[in-house]
Chain A
Amino acid sequence: MASKFTLSNRTGWLMAGPAIALIAGFVILPFFLAVGFSFTNQRLVSPNPAEFTGLANYRQLLGLGVLHLDPLKDAAGATVLDDQGQPKLPELRSITRKNPDYPQFDGMREWFSWSSGAGRTYVLASDVVFMKAIVNTVLFVIVVAPVQGGLALGLALLINQRLRGINVYRAIYFMPVVVSIVVVSLLWSFIYDEKQGILNNLLGALSFGALPRVDWLGNPATALASIIFMSIWQAVGFHMVIWLSGLQTISPTLYEAAAIEGSSKWQTFRYITWPGLKNTAILVLVVITMQAFGLFSQINVMTQGGPLDSTQTIVFQAVQRGYGKQDISGGSAISVILFVLVLSVSLIQRYLTRERN
């Protein structure tokens, strides 16, 4: 489209300028302030002036170490056994708490570990909670992005039929979207409740009592999955509508041509619908990914990151530190880490969905 007829610096800036100025003032500037805070020890409220601390916040958040411990030997060189007759390892806290021989591990905690040889290998982190938050957030994104996008497309195809009353169904599928996520989280807290929740009773009835009652949000094994399910339930209708508007942009004449040539439903989808949805697909994927990385409200209302950090997320940690613990510099560093992480992911996404000409 590069022609002299579409070239106009004045028009470009005139039409895009106001939006650019607002974004620069209310998103970019505060973000750079946050970047600045992350290199200091700035507190939310404090009479102490902030000091430049370099990368200290990042080191604290991302510090990792690997340690291998061998069983203890007694004076005779025999392996010491514990009460259960297992080889006894040195206490981890004797190494990570003010041990002058291991300054690199000071203040670190076990993130995870495995048996290796006669001993055990530990991966230590200076901020185990944050590590868990990263893992949970990434897990959430990996599950939610394809599942929600796929279900939304399925619903869009389902709802794109010419059927009497289809608009009613469309409105119903969309309804959860218009309800605030805070409200949704409150309602689902009821539904997931071990005793008072309708979900356990429903599953119990459907399985004739075979399924045991589960404390969905109180059990580290099910809490994140429960939040994933609810999040998809809430947002899938929105992406259904985006897919629908994409479907509407495909010319009916293409379908007519396909029908005349006698192509099967799958062929029609594969060779007409899907190629026509390319821009929509990129949009849906990008939007879901961005929103999923920002997972916060559900956590804040339903679990506060628990039980046992099984639902900690990056943004929840950023808020928890920045506001709750008044550590605005630590919270800001988390924001920057999140930014870099999502930026890398979206660059990869962009590379994978690039125009292949």
Chain B
Amino acid sequence: MAQTTPDNRGLRLVVRYTVLTLIAAIFSFPLIFMIMSSFKPAEQLLADAHTIRALLPIGDISLNNYFDAFKRAPVGLFVFNSVLVTSVTVVLSLALCSAAAFAFTFVQWKGRDLALTVILATLIVPFETIAIPLLLEASKLPWIGASGITYGWINSYRVQIVPFIADGLTIYLFVQYFKDLPGELIEAARVEGASWFAIYRRIVMPLSGPVLATAAILKFLAMYNQYLWPIMVTQEEQYRPVMVGLQYFFQLNRAWGEIMAYLSLITVPVLAFYLYLQKAFIASIASTGVKG
């Protein structure tokens, strides 16, 4: 790098930014199409779709699709439900799965290897393939609430949360990350008499910013985008999440403008969540950067 002349460097910068920008265009144009379309009446949206106009805010631009979307369905309720179910699941999942991964990576205990193997094997089971047995099970599960013991979890938030707290993928993410942490550090802390919980909380977790962010994003996305399961278990509107709400817009003649508005609306919370996490993510990398 020392030999590069200023001119040369300027040119290289231009090339770099051009490449970066071209790639950015490929990744963003469908989403720009979605957002721009959400401001257009359906006929114009379809007429524009095959030209560059699809990506520009021109023509008959208004917020009408958004107003209509709110009229057609309780959009606020759906977003609230999704955010509630998703965030509770994410928080519980990060806590339980990181603790489990900690035990799998750093602690020696009887049954550890078998348990880990079985959990990793569950990665192979796509949710769609166990949904029906899970429904049969969930419809019979007991719950202790204000009115004593009741049976059946259908129509509730818990049926959307509890089955998804622990999963093989999240545990696996943590395990793979923990493997790269310096094990001697943990052993040394043990030798000095630190409790396991203190090591988990004070040594391992503070080093885990990147994996926490990754696991949180992954879990958030998986939960927020759930579709099959909520259809099966939410018979009352009050518990329905956003993806079930999407079905409200698929009438025989599809109101594409409203659909685009709804899609934009439900995508915004996720983008916001990501941008927030990205900041945390980068901050945590900056603070823990040196290791290995």
Contacts and interface: CB of A to CB of B under 8 A. Distances in A.
B119 to A, nearest CB: 6
Contacts of A241: 214, 217
B118 interface: yes
Nearest to A295: B126
Contacts of A9: 109-110
A15 B95 CA distance: 10
A174 B108 contact: no
A250 interface: yes
Contacts of B115: 16, 20
B58 interface: no
- Max chain A Cβ within 10 angstroms of own Cβ: one of B102, B122, B164: B122
Interface in A318-336: 318-319, 322-323, 328, 331-332, 334-335
Contacts of A245: 177, 210-211, 213-214, 285
Contacts of B121: 343
Contacts of A206: none
Given A8-B108, A8-B109, A296 B267 contact: no
A1 B103 contact: no
Given A16-B100, A16-B115, A343 B124 contact: yes
B106 A6 contact: yes
Nearest to A191: B30
B132 A198 contact: no
B239 interface: no
A172 interface: yes
Contacts of A338: 124, 126, 129
Interface stretch (A93-101, A103-111, A116-124, A275-283): A275-283
13 contacts: A3-B187, A8-B107, A18-B96, A18-B99, A26-B166, A31-B130, A33-B130, A166-B20, A169-B23, A195-B50, A245-B210, A315-B129, A332-B129
Interface stretch (B73-81, B143-151, B270-278): B270-278
- Counting contact residues on chain A (CB < 8 A from B), the size range is 35 or more
B157 interface: no
A176 B27 contact: yes
A255 to B, nearest CB: 12
A294 B104 contact: no
A98 B14 CA distance: 72
- Max chain B Cβ within 10 angstroms of own Cβ: one of A16, A25, A322: A16
Interface residues of B, number: 104
A57 interface: no
Contacts of B19: 158
A81 to B, nearest CB: 50
B interface: dominant SS: helix
A171 B23 contact: no
Given A20-B119, A252-B289, A8 B263 contact: no
B176 to A, nearest CB: 5
B263 A183 contact: yes
B33 interface: yes
B66 interface: no
Interface string B145-189: 000000000000000001111111101110011011001001100
A353 interface: no
Contact of B103 (A11, A26, A318, A342): A11
Nearest to A183: B263
Contacts of A201: 50-51
Contacts of B224: 180
A27 B137 contact: no
B133 A19 contact: no
Interface string A1-43: 1110111111111111011101101111111011001000000
A249 B291 contact: yes
Nearest to B189: A5
A163 B16 contact: yes
Given A248-B289, A290-B123, A12 B109 contact: yes
A319 B110 contact: no
Contact of B187 (A6, A167, A178): A6
Interface in A143-188: 155, 158, 161, 163, 166-167, 169-184, 186-188
Contacts of A181: 225
B106 to A, nearest CB: 6
A238 interface: yes
A279 B119 CA distance: 18
Contact of B31 (A161, A179, A276): A179
A263 interface: no
A293 interface: yes
B91 interface: no
Contacts of B270: 178-179
Given A23-B119, A276-B292, A167 B128 contact: no
B96 A22 contact: yes
Nearest to B112: A12
A6 B180 CA distance: 17
B103 A16 contact: yes
Contacts of B266: 180, 183
Given A19-B99, A26-B163, A196-B49, A252 B290 contact: yes
B111 to A, nearest CB: 8
A287 interface: yes
B27 A175 contact: yes
A1 B122 contact: no
Nearest to B286: A248
Nearest to A20: B115
A79 interface: no
Contacts of B289: 248, 252
B24 interface: yes
Contacts of A6: 106-108, 186-187, 190
A198 B50 contact: yes
Contacts of A163: 13, 16-17, 20
A9 B97 CA distance: 18
